Amino acid sequence: MGQTIAEKILSRQNLQGEDAHAGDLIDCRLDGLMVHSNHWASIRTLYRRLGFENGPPRVWDPDKFYLMMEHVQPPRNVDGHRSNHDARREAEELGLTHFYDTEMGICHQMMVDYGNVRPGEFVVGTDSHTLMYGGLNCVSTGIATDEAAYALAFGELFFTVPESIKVNLVGKARSYPFGKDIILYLAGKYGNSFAQNKSLEFVGSAASAMPIADRLTLADHTDEVGGKFGLFLADEKTEAFIRELTTLPFEPIAPDPDARFLDEITVDCDALSFQVARPYRFDNVSPVEDVAGVRINEARIGSCANGRYEDIAFAAEMLKGKTVAKGVRLYVSPASMTVYKRLAREGHLATLLEAGAQVQEPGCSICVDILVNEEVCISSTTRNSHGRFGGSDCADAQIYLASPVTVAAAAIAGEIIDPREVLHV
């Protein structure tokens, strides 16, 4: 029986040495484990409860473990500083090869920037958006803290092989970031759990034409529709992208011609307009023209979903020679220092600042910074649930999700508009 991408990669990792198919429970060898600062403190606590007062006594493979202190950088309280202090000691004692101490950013973009994820691999991490690496043909998913504590010592975990859904994206390349619009359309049409515990495999002419940045956006957002993995084929773009980042070997994986899929979805991407998710659900989606005219107080561009160079550079070009509308705050947060530096070198940050944007440090804060109940925000971040921006005290703040293109257009106009009014496409 033929296999999907997920089945083939998990078969290769299966410690029993047998082919795996959907529904099989297997013990998998890991190619990588990523832990960020919030969860490292919890892992340390788990080990101390087991009697290891100095935290984890070993790592199964120091070359395959990635410890990221990026989530709150610099720490905002004494506990955070103390936790980071302990992490530095532990990283030295464990002989970690990949310890990212004081670097601001988002762990997922940093993992990509440093060539730590490669086609054909199986990588897990303590964050739900670890799925992002699937844009590079890497089977990846988020795990819980206790699972990470076990994987840290043994380099393996039990997994149930998921069913796979083929998502056939047909159409031509766009000249602007469009991955967000595609995943929002899928969520709006099929619901925010249509991929629950399943692997989405994105194929077709539009998937092939899509830049790596948009593939990463789609893979990242597979989490918002319940997916276990979000996977793309590795093509010449993928291989060229990876070879610029690392000299380590890798083996891309494609599905067999007779692979069995639970379902197949076809999307005519050429027929899609810009999409917007209205409060308070990722699947409360409509074409932008249906929400045009909604006045906004704030606009945000960033996150692991849409804080890449391509997202922010395009928004900067839209804002060149223009200004952010009066009464609107535009916040922009690059996803990593690598992205931040490139935007600075090429003048895009200066363009944003001249237009009236507020450029934040790279990091995850743009996904949770406060928006008061009386305000409306359009954002390219990951989620728009009640309290996403500020917690329970801000549960009624209105959050609309859209692509960086739609967000930038709204920041210029002071209200949600069809970006084609600005782009003339």
DSSP label at 297? S
Helix H or strand E segment including 379: strand 376-379
200 and 321, same domain (yes or no): no
249 and 289, same domain (yes or no): no
**Span 132-160, average pLDDT:** 97
pLDDT tens digit sequence for 161-186: 999 999 999 999 999 999 999 999 99
232 and 343, same domain (yes or no): no
Alpha-carbon span 247 to 260, nearest angstrom: 34
Q: Enumerate the β-bridge partners of residue 415.
A: 295
**Span 314-320, average pLDDT:** 97
Domain residues for 217?
A: 5-17+25-267
**pLDDT attached to residue 73:** 77
**Span 77-101, average pLDDT:** 89
182 and 318, same domain (yes or no): no
Last residue of a domain, one of 215, 248, 267: 267
pLDDT tens digit sequence for 16-29: 999 999 999 999 99
113 and 181, same domain (yes or no): yes
Q: Which amino acid is at 265?
A: I
Mean pLDDT of the chain, nearest integer:
95
Helix H or strand E segment including 185: helix 179-190
Identify the CATH number of the domain in which residue 209 sits: 3.30.499.10
**pLDDT attached to residue 425:** 60
Q: How confident is the model at residue 424 (pLDDT cuts 50, 70, 90)?
A: low
Is the pLDDT at 198 greater than 70, yes or no? yes
State pTM to two decimals.
0.96
Q: Which of 386, 419, 385, 383 has the alpha carbon at shortest distance from 401?
A: 383
* Orientation angle between helical segments 212-221 and 179-190, nearest 10 degrees: 30
CB 217 within 8 A of CB 108: no
pLDDT tens digit sequence for 373-403: 899 999 999 999 988 988 888 888 999 999 9
Last residue of a domain, one of 236, 267, 298: 267
CB 222 within 8 A of CB 134: yes
**pLDDT attached to residue 327:** 96
**pLDDT attached to residue 387:** 86
Tokens of 97: 């090869």
